[in-house]
Amino acid sequence: MARKSDRPAYRCTECGWSTAKWLGRCPECQAWGTVEEVGGAPAVRTAAVARVATPAVPIGQVDTQRVTARSTGVPELDRVLGGGLVPGAVVLLAGEPGVGKSTLLLDVAAKAASAEHRTLYVTGEESAGQVRLRADRIGALHEELYLAAETDLGSVLGQLDAVKPALLVLDSVQTIASAEIEGAPGGMAQVREVAGALIRAAKERGMATLLVGHVTKDGAIAGPRLLEHLVDVVLHFEGDRHARLRLVRGVKNRYGATDEVGCFELHDQGITSLADPSGLFLTRRDEPVPGTCLTVTLEGRRPLVAEVQSLTVSTQIPSPRRTTSGLENSRVSMMLAVLEQRGQITSLGKNDIYTATVGGVRLTEPAADLAVALALASAAGDSPLPQNLVAIGEVGLAGEVRRVTGVQRRLAEAARLGFTHALVPADSGEAPAGMRVLEVADIGEALRVLPRAPRRSRGAEPEDGERAGRGASERVAQARR
């Protein structure tokens, strides 16, 4: 009779998960055909009671001075982190290739370095010479910033013993491998081992750590989901490759809020913080132009003034084009239907319609519905909206304008930038000083701010939207008084 220890054992070659029974699919990483026999089954072990090295103390007596956040030197990153980097904290920054992760962290490494806080930048994707060239270009040079090109986990830990940094930047966690674990760098078992070893080193040394993470084609962080659970902070670096704006969004933060957003501008000289990014999303003009409307969107808790533009062009094809950029196509289609049915603007269905935002910002929240509807109506009637006007509100299929969250915060941001008039849903609260606010209950009331009625076909009878537009001058004058 075979002994218990002679039973065969099986291990997944992809993630290292082991079992005493063969399976066609690994339950851990969901890979097929990767479970292979490796020998005897692992013995069942239990942990013995050990001597306590650090006794438990009342929570009120725990020293918090050693875990005080220290600024990174980059204000927008400090905003997302909740004030700065906490000693011993491990931060995972993930983003698409080419978005600017390495540029941002190299700038952080240089600005955070000082005589008392040495910084170590470890690159596993580039040579030291390539990183030095980027540092020269963006001005990220400091005497206390050390650079190493390593791909072995043991060598990285050896660099920590030699340099003794207060901040470690590792670019990236998927390029480092441990010689003790089977599998290629970036595999689930390797990423788990590398992350675990670096987290233990960070906690033992009180060393803040910034890890760069790759993403999959779906935008999720590559590697096991355990990686996101182990680290203290998870940040996503977002941005359109063809735009200057970059956003750092907090997804998980054990030291602060998770709804903060940091804004950056990527240019030839590097990356800089944008304390007031609304200027990227606006077009300065001397005269108003038909088809444009301004709104205030919330990125996390941060209000940003953005511009919506629309253009209508007559077409001869049976199916007119509907093109959007920076807006959800489904919501734009809903606004077209509401304007045609509730606003009585029938010319929209016969034209090619192009709708976009300025500066690469993406508007996904329903609070931009009113601005989209007014931009479409303005373009259809060739009627520019009044200057210094912002529109905030969600538009329902019945044509009603619904309340949205953070109206006071949005209006305060618009007033700070010099806007004097606003269209908001009913019962939105008190207006900021110096701003005239007109509350509208439905899309018909909102369309009355247009100076002229929308165009109509020859011989058609005046419709409700056109009759509503005739009293625009009185309503605009009333809103300005």
pLDDT, tens digit (0-9, with 9 covering 90-100), for 291-326:
999 999 998 888 989 999 999 998 888 889 999 999
Place 1 in a pLDDT band, splitting at 50, 70 and 90.
very low
Q: For residue range 411-428, list pLDDT tens digits in order.
A: 999 998 889 999 999 988
The more confidently predicted of residues 454 and 275 is: 275
The whole-chain average pLDDT of the chain stands at 85
The pTM (predicted TM-score) of the whole model is: 0.75
Mean pLDDT, rounded, for 138-160: 95
Place 391 in a pLDDT band, splitting at 50, 70 and 90.
very high
pLDDT of residue 11 exceeding 50, the answer is yes
Residue 221 near residue 96 (C-beta atoms within 8 A): no
Catalogue the long-range contacts made by 454-458 (C-beta closer than 8 Å, 24 or more residues apart): 454/345, 454/347, 454/377, 454/380, 454/381, 454/383, 455/347, 455/380, 455/381, 455/382, 456/346, 456/347, 457/346, 457/347
pLDDT of residue 479 exceeding 80, the answer is no
Q: For residue 2, what are the CA distances in angstroms to 8, 40, 153? A: 11, 11, 40
pLDDT of residue 43 exceeding 70, the answer is no
pLDDT of residue 7 exceeding 70, the answer is no
Q: What is the pLDDT of residue 467?
A: 41
Q: What is the pLDDT of residue 45?
A: 59
Residue 379 near residue 291 (C-beta atoms within 8 A): yes
Least confident of 175-179, 263-267, 275-279, 390-394: 275-279
Place 18 in a pLDDT band, splitting at 50, 70 and 90.
confident
Residue 297 near residue 281 (C-beta atoms within 8 A): no
User: How would you classify the pairing of strands 208-213 and 90-95?
Assistant: parallel
